[in-house]
Amino acid sequence: MLLRCRIPLADFELDVDVTFDARVTSVFGPSGSGKTTLLDAIAGLRKVSAGEIEVNGRTLFSSARGINRPPRDRGIGYVSQEGALFPHLSVRKNILFGANRDTYGKSKDISVNHVLDVLEIGNFLDRPVTKLSGGEAQRVALARAILSHPQLLLLDEPLAALDVGLKERILPYLRRVRGEFAIPMLYVTHDVSEVFALADWVIMIRAGKVIEQGAPRAILPSHWLTADPEQSQVENIFDAVWIDADPKAGRTRVRLECGREIVIPYMARPKESSLQVRIRGDDILLATHRPAGISAGNVLDGVIRDIEIVEGQAIIKVDAAAIFTVRLTVGAVQALGLAKGRNVFLIIKTRSCIVL
Amino acid sequence: MIFSFETWQITLFSLSVGLASTLLILPFGIALAWLFARKEWPLKSVLETIVLLPLVMPPVSTGLILLKIFGRRSPVGHWLYERGVEIVFNWKGVLIAMAVMSFPLLVRSVRTSFAEVNPRLEQIAATLGASGLRIFFVITIPLAYKGIVAGALLAFSRALGEFGATILLAGNIPGETQTLSLAIYNFVQLGKDPEAYVLLGITVALAFLFVWCSEWLLRARGNT
């Protein structure tokens, strides 16, 4: 894919020049950095002042050659943040809305039933879309886009409108879509954990400029701070393998890559199956002595490797076999006398460990 | 008997010409409302203002303008006359007067309901391969239809109440151009109050019915 475009916006100019070829490419950056504008430009919903957009070797836009295909001729599937289902049509009619379009030489190798199976939509096909939950609506929007046989699937923060619990239930569907259908995806998000959970490649943009691109683990810091504390994230994401689970106790043991075992909420999985665990940096407590009589399922000993003070927040790296990033207030750091080299204990509630 | 032949004749004439005028302006009104709601062009506001003028201008003034346009001595009127079409002082004059006077109400109501349709839905439909026409008829119109029906009802009621423009363009000829409003005026002038009251009752009942339907539709629009 080739993406080179300039779009003047109110505060700045969106200026992007990237080529990439990944199954799932994430466009990552804070709100207002021009991510949605970029997707709109690719889909042809927005004027581009100059540049070139090419998908699968097919030029969609080229200011030099005077090409500007209309949205309906671009072969782009677009899932927007709010789903944008047609409210007066049933789920079935929504899903089939684009199913008959020309496919630009690509065979219609995706069957309706396959999509319904993957996204588990079959049992509410005839419901009006106004009676769907947020998660169901997003799955329908996904199915509708996939069944239009696109060359590229654009996903604009499809999980942003959902609350946390629901997010974690929709992510697996997105992973299944990635695995089942050979459609490249461009996934816009400002959530680091979604990048790690889905993307093979990430393009970081800020104020309309690409600041870096590469494999997520190579270029994304575990903490991502922006001027808006609401958007700032400190994430710990670990690859892990399933060891055993106890449904009565509601717990599962997993082994992190570094060899450490931790306890996460109960989930049935095949033995040794791999998974990803996310722990927010805000959900970890630090103690200077080993705590006793505490309900948290995980108490890990470690050493402080680094303390970084950013905008009144302390970002602390603790080496407990793996590096854990914890966010505390500067006040807490002072009260506990935390410093580099100090031995500490990480306290992590079982329920704060989320499987992606 | 209160409902004389004349009463029936007048009511039926008003209703049928009113209906015809509403049907006549409907396609134009919808098209123009869509342009106003979705497109931008230079001097758009000038056209918007012109369309709205009959709403605020004295109807008699509008009637006089129409008379000047369609009178036999004007180029337009002359051209029509040579082709055997005469507008002034017959039912076609009533039709034109009603159409012109109710047009702004239709456009305004439909425009609002188009503006309330989320443009994102139309954009998404386009990315799914839909043509402009398909988007218009399968997405935009169905989502705006309540506003369109309400606008048509309003226009129809306005057409029935038309007086000033009609009397100038079509005159007040019993059995030929006399609508409910004109007939009431006529009866009062002639001192035939009972006849006027019967027609008054009919106009109140019709107006109530239409406004009530229209309001009900506009309220229900929020719930779709």
Q: How do residues A207-235 score in pLDDT, each as one tens digit?
A: 888 888 888 877 776 656 554 555 667 87
* CB environment A125-164: b (16+ within 10 A), e (fewer): eeeebeebeebbbbbbbbbbbbbbbbbbbbbbbbbeebee
Phi and psi at residue A223, in whole multiples of 5°? -120, 145
pLDDT for B97: 96
Task: Using pLDDT thresholds of 50, 70 and 90, give the confidence band for residue B167.
Answer: very high
pLDDT for A77: 93
DSSP characters over A263-328 = EEE-----TT-EEEEEEEGGGEEEESS---S---SEEEEEEEEEEEEETTEEEEEEEESEEEEEEE
Return d(Cα A14, Cα A245) in angstroms, integer. 49
Q: What is the mean pLDDT of residues B65-75?
A: 92
Are the beta carbons of A80 and B118 separated by less than 8 Å?
no
Distance in Å, alpha carbon of B41 to nearest chain A alpha carbon: 16
pLDDT for A103: 59
Taking the whole predicted model, whether its pTM rises above 0.80 is answered as no
Task: Give the helix/strand (H/E) hosting B105.
Answer: helix B91-115
Q: What is the mean pLDDT of residues B201-221?
A: 85
pLDDT for A280: 87
Low-confidence ranges of chain A (pLDDT < 70): 102-108, 164, 221-232
* Helix (H/G/I), strand (E/B), else coil: A230: coil
Q: Could you report the predicted ipTM of this complex, rounded to two decimals?
A: 0.81
The residue ranges of every structural domain in chain A are 2-220, 272-355
Query: Percent of chain B having pLDDT more than 90?
Result: 81
pLDDT for B224: 44
B50 in reach of chain A (CB within 8 A):
no
Are the beta carbons of A98 and B126 separated by less than 8 Å?
no
Q: How remote is the C-alpha of A198 from its chain's centroid?
A: 6
Please name the amino acid found at residue A80. Answer: S
In CATH terms, A2-220 corresponds, of 3.30.565.60, 2.40.50.140, 3.30.530.20, 3.40.50.300, to 3.40.50.300
In CATH, A272-355 is 2.40.50.100: yes
Task: Using pLDDT thresholds of 50, 70 and 90, give the confidence band for residue B53.
Answer: very high
Query: Percent of chain A having pLDDT more than 90?
Result: 35
pLDDT for A223: 59
For residue A98, give the nearest of B120, B128, B143 by CB distance: B128
A149 in reach of chain B (CB within 8 A):
no
Q: What is the mean pLDDT of residues B63-81?
A: 92
CA distances from B217 to A7, A180, B195, B222 (A): 42, 46, 34, 9
For residue B125, give the nearest of A80, A87, A97 by CB distance: A97
pLDDT for A268: 84
For residue B128, give the nearest of A80, A130, A148 by CB distance: A148
pLDDT for A176: 87
Which CATH number does B5-216 carry?
1.10.3720.10
Contacts of B192 (CB under 8 A, 6+ apart): none
pLDDT tens-digit profile of B89-116? 999 999 999 999 999 999 999 999 999 9
Are the beta carbons of B123 and A71 separated by less than 8 Å?
yes
pLDDT tens-digit profile of A308-319? 887 778 889 999
Are the beta carbons of A80 and B224 separated by less than 8 Å?
no
The residue ranges of every structural domain in chain B are 5-216
On chain B, the residues whose CB falls within 8 A of the CB of A144 are: 128
